Amino acid sequence: MNVSLTPELERFVGEKVESGLYNNASEVVREGLRLLKEHDEVRLRWREQIERGWQEAQAGRVVDGPVAMARIKQRVTARSKKRT
């Protein structure tokens, strides 16, 4: 597979190799693609959560804002106590 990069990206890849963190340009590209894949998976999970929330709201299963904030504060307080 051949990939064409802009001069700016080519310099970036070269700098990464020169830094000693990567042995060659292929390693840099593989790492970038791995991170892109990870990013896409996170974004997909967010979209699924948003869709689930939207469906819940459309079905009338919602929580009043102050009630939701009180629940969140309780969780934060409980987690803070566990850490200490």
Read off the amino acid at residue 10.
E
One digit per residue, pLDDT tens: the chain, 84 residues?
899 999 999 999 999 999 999 999 999 999 999 999 999 999 999 999 999 999 999 999 998 999 999 999 999 999 998 887
Is residue 3 within 8 A of residue 29, CB to CB? The reply is yes
Q: Which of 43, 40, 14, 11 is nearest to 27 (CA)?
A: 14
User: Which pLDDT value is given to residue 25?
Assistant: 97
